[in-house]
Amino acid sequence: MILAVGLSHRTAPVEVRERLATGADALATVLARLGARSELTEVMFVSTCNRVEVIALAPDDRVDAALSAIREELARHGGLAYDAELAAYLYDIRGDEAVRHIFRVAASLDSMVLGEPQILGQVKDAYDAAVAAGALRGKLARCVSRSFAAAKRVRTETGIGAGTVSISSVAVDLARRVFGDLSDHAVLLLGAGEMAEAAARSLGRGARALRVCNRSFDRAAALAGEMHASAVPWEGLEAELVQADVVVASTASRTPVVTRDMVKRAMRSRRGRTLLFTDIAVPRNVEPAVHTIDNVYVYNVDDLEQEVARGMNARRAELAAAEKIVTEEVTQFLAWSRGMEVQPTVVAMRAKVRAVFFAELERSMGRLKHLEGDRAALAQMLDSAVNKFLHAPTTRLKARAADKSDAAELAAAVRFLFDLEDLPAAADPEQTERANQPQAPDTDEDDDRTVN
């Protein structure tokens, strides 16, 4: 069964989310711990500014144990006591609903900013990391891969991504509402990643001065070059706080990089001029206590959620069309998944019938030596007979599986009637089953589209 366990902006405040957030440097360790749990067959770890989630596959008879294992590892990762500190914020989603959840997350239908494009890239990065760690390889890998195709359809077939609403653009819009025209004000981008780049693009050339400060000066210089801005060294951060009117913070630091003492010193030199921080990082880059300083204002990602809501009306009009696409794609995946559950029975049935037919051919050839030269034609005839004979039971069993009807009972009946004691292992989800399908007149094909 596919499971999703985690917390998001809908269930937990930023001070809880930042405890569990994971950077690229720690992701391998988290995946190794999760992958080592015997309760989990496959696993993936997603960490963004608005959600921390474990996506997993577990045997149907070990779901409760799997859920406990995931909760334990999340609590361990965040240094939290599960019962006292974490339980109230976690959700767990199972089975078909978990599949739908994965597809909706990838399509940005569960994001704070509906339709924002960053989440798809973040889920793809999590997918790549899990595949590289050997933690994602079968049915769950197929599920997540198919969610990318659904997200692409949503992006191209609806207007869900219309406009420029994003956390970064909202941060810039907030600065404009506070200061009005930014042409007389200086903006400092603290960080040089995707969020900082998005904020810079939202600013355009609207600020009097745009400067970029990052631990890696080379990255700061690269972004500054693209945005016609200036790069400043990390050690010059405190001096930059004296000059800047707006600071957009989005570094990957695990601890605050802007402290209350640092800002207090800067404010003495600013002679009362207002300083606005929009902290769009998780974990937060700006100490919460900075907000207590006179003429200093700090907004974090949770504060910006209200601002995001202002620009969502046009996108919400596209939500029904997006949800319809997700439903179509989820239905296709679930049909494929259920078909794979009866596949071992189909393979065993076909193998046994074929073995009986060809055993009879070999027995008969002893009396029909004059047909030895036609052995290949006779074998082809038997293959065709097997295909036609098993076409109806094969397609009907798969159809029942796709409809989530009584496929399990029918598969059990087939195994009983054909005396199929030893079933082959289920096929790898990344391979097709066409080699085991009737060639004619069967036209039932699996969806094997790949996502690049």
Q: Are residues 18 and 107 in the same domain?
A: yes
pLDDT digits (tens, 9 = 90+) for 116-172: 888 999 999 999 999 999 999 999 999 999 999 999 999 999 988 776 567 787 888
Co-location of 152 and 182 in the same domain:
no
Give the Cα separation of 373 and 233 in Å (integer).
84
Q: Is residue 111 included in any domain, yes or no?
A: yes
Position 318 in a domain = no
- For residue 380, which amino acid is it? Q
Residues 22 and 141 in one domain: yes
Specify whether 17 is located in the same domain as 85.
yes
Q: What is the CATH number of the domain that holds 283?
A: 3.40.50.720
Task: Say whether 424 sits in a helix, a strand or coil.
Answer: coil
Instruction: List, for residues 174-221, the tens digit of each pLDDT value.
Output: 888 888 888 889 999 999 988 888 888 877 767 888 999 999 999 999
CB 301 within 8 A of CB 50: yes
CATH number at residue 96: 3.30.460.30
Residue 334 in domain: no
Q: Could you list the residue range(s) of the whole structural domain that residue 364 is in?
A: 341-436
Of 108-112, 212-216, 238-242, 394-398, which gets the smallest average pLDDT?
A: 394-398
Neighbouring-strand partners of residue 369: none
Residue 443 lies in a domain: no
Confidence of residue 289 (pLDDT cuts 50, 70, 90): very high
Give dist(CA 178, CA 187) in Å, integer.
13
Contacts of residue 431, defined as CB under 8 A and 6 or more positions apart, other chains included, come to none
Residue 260 within a domain:
yes
pLDDT-derived band at 310, boundaries 50, 70, 90: low
Q: 107 pLDDT band (50/70/90 cuts)?
A: very high
Q: Is 143 a catalytic residue?
A: no
User: Do residue 135 and residue 187 come from a single domain?
Assistant: no
Is the residue at 331 inside a domain? no
Q: What is the pLDDT of residue 83?
A: 65
Q: Please report which confidence band the pLDDT of residue 446 belongs to, taking 50, 70 and 90 as the band edges.
A: very low
Give the rounded percent of residues in the chain with a pLDDT score beyond 90: 48
Q: Tokens 């990255």 appear where?
A: 219
| 29 and 173 inside one domain | no
Of 163, 183, 206, the last residue of a domain is: 163
- The first and second tokens of residue 274, run together, are 């207002």
User: Where does a domain end: 117, 141, 163?
Assistant: 163
User: 23 and 159 share a domain?
Assistant: yes
Tell me whether residue 262 is in a domain: yes
Domain count, the chain: 3
Residues 179, 44 within the same domain: no
* Cα(86)–Cα(79) distance, integer angstroms: 10
Q: In what order do the strands lie in the sheet with 42-47?
A: 42-47, 51-57, 2-8, 91-94
pLDDT value for 371: 72
**Claim to verify: residue 114 and residue 33 sit in the same structural domain:** yes
The model's confidence at residue 54, banded by pLDDT at 50, 70 and 90, is very high
Residues 282 and 398 in one domain: no
Does the pLDDT value for residue 69 go beyond 90? yes
**Whether residues 377 and 272 fall in one domain:** no
Examine the domain organization and report whether 152 and 206 are in the same domain: no
In a domain, 59, yes or no: yes
DSSP labels, 47-102? E-SSEEEEEEE--GGGHHHHHHHHHHHHHHHHT--IIIIIGGG-EEEEHHHHHHHH
Please report, as a single letter, which amino acid is at residue 362.
E
Catalytic residue among 30, 49, 167, 296: 49
